[in-house]
Amino acid sequence: MDVTELYPDDLVYEHEAVAATGVPGPVIRQWARRGKINRFQGNGQLTGQGHEYKTMYALPEVEERAKTYRPMPQRAPKAA
C-alpha cells in the first residue's frame, strides 16, 4: 500500500488496531520494527504517566497483514 493513498481516518492507535483486527499489540509493533507496515507519529498529545507520544499505524496496512496472521501454538491462550 502506498502511504499517499491514506486518509487521516486511516491512522489509528495501537489499541484501536488491536480491537479492529484481533492481532496482539506486540505483533503489530514487531511488524512495524521489521518494516512490514508503516508507523506514524501520533498527534503530539501527552499521554499517561510517562508522557510518551503515541505511535499510529495505517489500519488498511494492518488489516491486510492480519489476514495471514496465525498465532504461534505456544502463545495461544490456555483453557482455564
What would the pLDDT profile of 1-56 be if each residue is shown by its tens digit?
677 777 778 889 999 999 999 999 999 999 999 999 988 887 644 445 544 567 88
**Confidence label for 76 from pLDDT (cuts 50, 70 and 90):** low
Dig out the grid coordinates for 59 from the structure.
Answer: 489500519
Query: CA 76 to CA 16: how far, in whole Å?
Result: 21
Angle at CA 33, nearest 5°, toward 68 and 25?
60
Phi, psi (deg, nearest 5) at residue 58: -80, 115
Fold of 3-69: Multidrug-efflux Transporter Regulator; Chain: A; Domain 2 (1.10.1660)
The three-state secondary structure class of 52 is strand
DSSP 54: P
pLDDT computed for residue 69 by the predictor:
92
